[in-house]
Amino acid sequence: MNLKNRVQLIGNLGGDPKYYEFPSGTKMAKLSVATSDFFRKSDRVVKETQWHNVIAWGNLADMVKEKIVKGYEVVVDGCLKQNRYTDKNGNEQCTYEVVADTILFSKPDRA
* Amino acid 108: pLDDT: 78
Supply the CATH number for residue 85's domain: 2.40.50.140
Q: What is the mean pLDDT of residues 14-37?
A: 96
In a domain, 36, yes or no: yes
Whole-prediction pTM:
0.86
In a domain, 2, yes or no: no
- Residue-number span of the structural domain to which 92 is assigned: 7-103
In a domain, 110, yes or no: no
Q: What is the mean pLDDT of residues 77-97?
A: 95
Cβ-count burial 35-44 (b if 16+ within 10 Å, e if not)? eeeeeeeeee
Domains identified in the chain, total number: 1
In a domain, 73, yes or no: yes
List pLDDT tens digits, range 36-71: 999 888 889 999 999 999 999 999 999 999 999 999
Given the DSSP bridges, would you call strands 18-21 and 44-57 parallel, antiparallel or unpaired? unpaired
